[in-house]
């Protein structure tokens, strides 16, 4: 009899402990999650932004009393999967994941769910699984709109004098990143009407998303595509604008243009957009090569993600401001979306230095 009672006590206790682990509804006590280990899986160190993201998320979680394990996937989807598998076997209590390939994570997200580990999709949504709890990102369609609007304004297309036609070439991000189609959709919403009126002309004829993507956001890939376009479609005429979704891609495009004497007399730089306000690109904007970038305050994004982890582990509801935009094909993932800001030569000091993102010295 005594043995039976002891066994039941043990079962009850372990059930209670398990309940506190994830849903923790009866548990207001912070102590239970204090010191829990959170796995952070970032896509690559090849871009400055993801290094900052990793460091920021780590810092935010540690300031809430968590321990962290941070890994970078070197832009290799298989490596990211095995890194996450490792984190799961190391008993992390939650995962923050910025996917390399949005569809490669289905098995590993199932393994996490089986182990009762919540997953926060960080900046890039994970597709095709119910096992993603929340999404922390920016208004990605708005990013594209800001790029499209910038081009329209810089070329004066929105004015009364109806200048043009202008030549534009279009670049998009990696086809395995869910953000790519949001950026493109936002930009095309603005640019398509001018293309329909033939005031914007894509001489290469490459306008469909599957013709203009850049695998893994690779600058060298974009450079090669821009070189090919210049050779095949610009024997006559010049490029007036390039829609680029990301600073690393813009750098590749600028190299191709430079080899074709853009930026020298008679061949002014086209309007070139970007995203992320990476240091090299802000310097390029200051020197008049790249024209614009879209700044996203990654410090805020890290805070949002850390709050999502914290609330989820405590059985509370994290702050959400979007419940409709991000359908991952299995469910609409509740999201918190931050606002991006367009930056060019006229406001980089105010936004980037004033906002404490860069110091004056960084930009020297
Ligand atoms: C996207 C992200 C962009 C940019 C790009 C390349 O997912 O939203 O800000 O960083 O990846 O890294």
For a mutational test of ligand 1's pocket, the pick from 48, 52, 246, 273, i.e. the residue with the most ligand atoms closer than 8 A to its C-beta, is 246
* pLDDT-based confidence at residue 242 (cuts at 50, 70, 90): very high
Q: Is the pLDDT of residue 1 over 90?
A: no
Q: How far is the CA of 26 from the centre of ligand 1 (A)?
A: 39
From the list 217, 139, 233, the residue with the least C-alpha distance to 171 is: 217
Spell out which residues line ligand 1, taking CB within 6 angstroms.
47, 49, 123-124, 173, 177, 179, 217, 246, 275-276
- The stretch 281-288 carries a mean pLDDT of 98
* pLDDT-based confidence at residue 3 (cuts at 50, 70, 90): very low
How many other CB atoms are found less than 10 A from the CB of residue 192?
13
**What is the reported pLDDT for 199?**
97
**What is the reported pLDDT for 24?**
38
Q: What is the dihedral of CA 252, 299, 97, 81, to 10 degrees?
A: 50
Q: Is the pLDDT of residue 183 over 50?
A: yes
**What is the reported pLDDT for 10?**
46
**What is the reported pLDDT for 78?**
98
pTM greater than 0.85 (yes/no): yes
CATH of 37-132+297-333, one of 3.65.10.10, 3.20.20.10, 3.40.50.2300, 3.30.830.10: 3.40.50.2300
Q: What number does the ligand 1 atom closest to the CA of 123 have? A: 8
Give Cβ neighbours of residue 287 (< 8 Å, ≥ 6 apart). Answer: none
Of 164 and 300, the structure prediction assigns the larger pLDDT to 300
Q: Rounded to whole angstroms, how far apart are CA atoms 343 and 12? A: 57
Same fold flag, 37-132+297-333 and 140-295: yes
Q: Is the pLDDT of residue 211 over 90?
A: yes
**What is the reported pLDDT for 266?**
86
How many other CB atoms are found less than 10 A from the CB of residue 301?
24
pLDDT tens across 9-38, in order? 444 444 444 444 444 333 444 447 889 999
Domain 140-295, what fold? Rossmann fold (3.40.50)
**What is the reported pLDDT for 330?**
97
The mean predicted confidence, pLDDT, of the chain is 93
For a mutational test of ligand 1's pocket, the pick from 54, 74, 75, 123, i.e. the residue with the most ligand atoms closer than 8 A to its C-beta, is 123
Q: Rounded to whole angstroms, how far apart are CA atoms 215 and 213? A: 6
Q: How far is the CA of 98 from the centre of ligand 1 (A)?
A: 10
Q: Locate the DSSP E strands across the chain.
A: 37-42, 67-72, 94-97, 119-122, 134-138, 166-170, 200-201, 241-243, 271-272, 292-295, 335-338, 341-344
For a mutational test of ligand 1's pocket, the pick from 43, 174, 177, 337, i.e. the residue with the most ligand atoms closer than 8 A to its C-beta, is 177
pLDDT above 90 covers what percent of the chain?
A: 88
Q: Provide the token pair at 187.
A: 């930009």
Residue ranges of domains in the chain: 37-132+297-333, 140-295
Pick the residue whose CA is nearest to atom 4 on ligand 1. 246
* pLDDT-based confidence at residue 265 (cuts at 50, 70, 90): confident
**What is the reported pLDDT for 28?**
42
How many other CB atoms are found less than 10 A from the CB of residue 149?
19
Pick the residue whose CA is nearest to atom 9 on ligand 1. 276
**What is the reported pLDDT for 34?**
84
**What is the reported pLDDT for 164?**
86
Q: Is the pLDDT of residue 150 over 70?
A: yes
How many other CB atoms are found less than 10 A from the CB of residue 62?
13
Q: How far is the CA of 201 from the centre of ligand 1 (A)?
A: 27
- The stretch 210-221 carries a mean pLDDT of 98
Q: How far is the CA of 147 from the centre of ligand 1 (A)?
A: 14
Question: Is residue 214 a contact partner of residue 174, using CB atoms and an 8 Å limit?
Answer: yes
Q: Is the pLDDT of residue 319 over 60?
A: yes
Angstrom CA distances, 195 to 159, 166, 183, 207, 307, stand at 16, 10, 17, 10, 43
Bridge partners (DSSP) of residue 338 are 138
Q: Is the pLDDT of residue 57 over 50?
A: yes
**What is the reported pLDDT for 186?**
98
**What is the reported pLDDT for 162?**
84
Q: How far is the CA of 162 from the centre of ligand 1 (A)?
A: 34
> Regarding beta strands 241-243 and 166-170, do their DSSP bridges make them parallel or antiparallel, or are they unpaired?
parallel
* pLDDT-based confidence at residue 259 (cuts at 50, 70, 90): very high
């Amino acid at each position: 009899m005594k043995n039976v009672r002891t066994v039941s006590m043990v079962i009850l206790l372990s059930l209670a402990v398990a309940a506190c682990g994830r849903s923790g509804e009866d548990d207001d006590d912070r102590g239970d999650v204090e010191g829990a280990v959170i796995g952070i899986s970032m896509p690559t160190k090849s871009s400055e932004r993801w290094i900052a993201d990793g460091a920021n998320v780590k810092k935010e979680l540690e300031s809430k009393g968590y321990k962290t394990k941070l890994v970078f996937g070197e832009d290799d989807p298989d490596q990211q999967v095995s890194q996450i598998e490792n984190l799961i076997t190391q008993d992390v209590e939650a995962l923050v994941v910025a996917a390399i390939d949005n569809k490669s994570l289905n098995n590993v997200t199932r393994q996490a769910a089986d182990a009762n580990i919540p997953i926060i999709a960080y900046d890039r949504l994970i597709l095709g699984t119910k096992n993603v709890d929340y999404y922390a990102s920016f208004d990605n369609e708005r990013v594209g709109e800001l790029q499209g609007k910038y081009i329209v304004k810089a070329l004066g297309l929105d004015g009364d004098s109806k200048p043009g036609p202008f030549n534009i070439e279009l670049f998009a991000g990696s086809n395995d990143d869910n953000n790519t189609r949001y950026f493109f959709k936002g930009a095309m919403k603005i640019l398509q009407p001018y293309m329909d009126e033939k005031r914007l002309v894509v001489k290469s004829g490459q306008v469909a998303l599957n013709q203009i993507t850049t695998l893994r956001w690779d600058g060298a890939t974009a450079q090669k595509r821009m070189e090919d376009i210049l050779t095949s479609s610009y024997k006559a005429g010049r490029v007036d604008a390039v829609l680029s979704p990301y600073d690393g891609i813009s750098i590749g495009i600028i190299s191709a243009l430079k080899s074709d004497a853009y930026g020298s007399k008679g061949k002014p730089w086209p309007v070139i957009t970007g995203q992320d306000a990476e240091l090299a690109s802000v310097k390029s904007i200051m020197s008049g090569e790249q024209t614009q970038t879209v700044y996203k305050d990654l410090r805020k994004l890290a805070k949002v993600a850390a709050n999502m982890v914290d609330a989820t582990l405590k059985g509370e509801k994290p702050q959400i401001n979007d419940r409709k935009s991000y359908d991952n094909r299995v469910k609409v993932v509740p999201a918190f979306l931050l606002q991006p800001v367009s930056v060019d030569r006229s406001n980089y000091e105010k936004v980037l230095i004033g906002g404490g993102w860069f110091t004056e010295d960084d930009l020297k």
